[in-house]
Every structure is written in structure tokens, then in C-alpha cells.
Amino acid sequence: MSEEKEPMISNTMKIVIAVVGVFVMGFTLVGASKQKTVVEMEAESMIRNYANIQGMANQKCPAAIESATGEQVFFPSKTESDKNTYITLMWEGENTANGGFKNASCTLKATLGGISELIVDGKEIIKK
């Protein structure tokens, strides 16, 4: 009787295993390199914070000006901010001939979470 040897892995199978191994290593390296650095995370956090402050100011300030003056405002004529803790939006009145306001200023502080100062025609409406 002749002895039968177990078949060895064919060359084709070895190549397939090597290619699969290369793909696995490639995906592992790409996945590991996608982690963000501390600097990138801090920058993203600052951008999100400024966007949140600005969004809150664009919601609350026009409503506060409308309740104080009876006039609706849409787009501020000027904006001041340190891009971290506060934002001040300023409007120029459009109906000054009909008794409307001349200018309005609304400051929102992030630490307060709302309007900290509202000034209409030099008169303080809100001061916190």
C-alpha cells in the first residue's frame, strides 16, 4: 500500500491568504489613524461653542427686541464677540420716522445662558 500524504496548501491559496492579510492590516492602520488629536478636538469644541452662542443669540435677541419695541428685527447690522464667552448683536432701526427705535444692542453671555444686556436707544431694558 502506498502512503498517502496530506495535501499541502497550494500556491494559489497562499496568495489569497496573503492578500486578505494585507487588506486586514490596511483597514487596521486606516482605522487607527482616524483618531483625532487633542488640538483638533479643542478646535472643534470652540467652533461648536461659538455656533451655539450665536444660534442662541439669533433666537432670543430678536424676540426680546420685538417685545421691548414692538418692531420685528431680522439681521443684525453689526456683531461683536470674543468667539468664546459672549456675543453682541446690534441693529439699526428702519422705522425711526414712524417712532421706531434708532438702534438696539443685545448681548448674550454663554455662562449666563441667556441675554445679559439689552439696550434700545441708549436705555437699558435688561441688565444682568
Q: Where exactly are the structural domains of the chain?
A: 39-127
* Mean pLDDT for all residues in the chain: 88
Neighbours of 109 (CB within 10 A): 17
Give the distance from CA 57 to its chain's centroid. Answer: 14
Average pLDDT over residues 43-57: 93
pTM greater than 0.75: no
Residue 4 has pLDDT above 80, yes or no: no
Distance CA 95, CA 63 (A): 17
Average pLDDT over residues 27-45: 85
| pLDDT class of 5 with cuts at 50, 70, 90 | low
What amino acid occupies position 112? Answer: L
CB distance 108 to 119 below 8 Å: no
| pLDDT class of 117 with cuts at 50, 70, 90 | very high
Burial of 58 (0-12, 13-18, 19+ CB in 10 A): middle
Burial of 93 (0-12, 13-18, 19+ CB in 10 A): buried
Average pLDDT over residues 49-77: 93
The single-letter DSSP state of residue 122 is T
pLDDT tens digits for 83-99?
A: 889 999 999 988 877 87
Distance CA 97, CA 59 (A): 27
What amino acid occupies position 12? Answer: T
Residue 108 has pLDDT above 90, yes or no: yes
